[in-house]
Amino acid sequence: MMKKNKIFVACDSPNISKVKEIIKKTSHPKIKFGYKFGLEFLNSKNGRSFVSKIKNKIIFADLKIHDIPNTCVSTIKAIKDLKVNYLTIHISSGLEALKASKKVAGRTKIIGVSILTSLNGQALKEIGFNKEVKKLVLHQAQLANKAKLDAIVCSAQEVSVVKKIFKKEIITPGIRLSDNTNDQKRVLTPNQAYKNGSDWLVIGRPITKGNIKKNIQKLVNHLCK
């Protein structure tokens, strides 16, 4: 393990005590941690105000905005007081929405979400997308590029393809150390993801379920292999 590995921990719980525990127990000299808060926590009773008070951490609001340009812009303005470092919008919101979002984001980096890592070829067909996953992700990466977004979310399986046309940060969820993939379909291990060129990994359940300290140690052992 050469440089410090960068990992966003998905703080996926509506429960503040659990989220506090996750933040407290995820420190390690070999890893640079950021914290990702999704719809589950930001919509919980006290989640938003909790995030607004966090200091000196890299914060990622996984809002996954998917809407018309006007609503995207208003949403980004409405979350400005949180001063988050990163915020997500679905690339499928369209070029106009992406450009408008980037324009009002200020210092918050806008991440374009491509095809969800929980979808495989079969699931994509079900929702009417006929292109193969890699081609679709590549197509969306081109759009993210055109809109001058700061980062892109894709699966680690597509990083090498995306890297050819998208030169900024690449963030990859769907990271697994074991065969338990839960609901994720396009998965890779942390080492494979970094090898392919991911800048940040997003890891939730493999860290937060069970004993967090032991999970981190397992992860570090894997990274040191």
Instruction: Write the interaction track for ligand C5P spanning residues 39-68; mark x where CB under 6 A is met and - where it is not.
Output: -----------------------x------
Binder among 19, 193, 202, 219 for ligand C5P (CB under 6 A): 202
Of 44-52, 157-165, 198-206, 210-218, the segment contacting ligand C5P by CB under 6 A is: 198-206
Q: Which is the catalytic residue, given 6, 25, 32, 64?
A: 64
Residue type, 198: S
Of 19-27, 111-119, 159-167, 212-220, the segment contacting ligand C5P by CB under 6 A is: 111-119
Residue 64 bears catalytic tag: yes
Other C-beta atoms closer than 10 Å to the C-beta of 94 total 17
Catalogue the E-assigned strands of 49-199: 58-65, 86-90, 109-113, 151-153, 169-172
Residue in the structure block whose two tokens are 């719809």:
39
Q: Does the protein bind ligand C5P through residue 153 (CB under 6 A)?
A: yes
Other C-beta atoms closer than 10 Å to the C-beta of 24 total 9
Residue type, 157: Q
Q: Give the integer Cα–Cα distance in Å for 202 and 10.
A: 6
Question: Where does this chain bind ligand C5P (CB under 6 A)?
Answer: 10, 12, 38, 62, 113, 116-117, 153, 173-174, 182, 184, 202-206
